[in-house]
Amino acid sequence: ETPELKQLSDLANTTGAAGKLSGAGGGDCGIAVSFDVEIAERTKRSWEEAGFYLVDATIDYDGVKVEN
């Protein structure tokens, strides 16, 4: 766990989201999950203010599909 990834997780937890690390070894990505829009926005702002790059993602309940 790098200091930056710990900071991501700590910021997410402080804002009310669930924060965790993802990736192999030391981790290469921090993830925050919240089902509350206000908490999600607060978390995003805290990460942006800390200088982190954000990738907005959503959960796809259908999973991966192969289309021909």
Domain that holds residue 19: 3-49
- The average pLDDT across 33-50 equals 94
Provide the whole-model pTM: 0.74
Q: Is residue 29 part of a domain?
A: yes
Q: Is residue 11 part of a domain?
A: yes
How many domains, in total, are found in the chain? 1
Q: Is the pLDDT of residue 50 over 90?
A: yes
Residue 23: exposure state from Cβ atoms within 10 A (0-12, 13-18, ≥19): exposed
Q: Is residue 56 part of a domain?
A: no
CA 33 to chain centre: 6
* pLDDT at residue 3, rounded to an integer: 87
* pLDDT at residue 26, rounded to an integer: 63
Torsion of CA 17, 53, 57, 35, to 10 degrees: 10
Q: Is residue 41 part of a domain?
A: yes
Over residues 13-36, the pLDDT tens digits come to 999 999 888 876 666 788 899 999
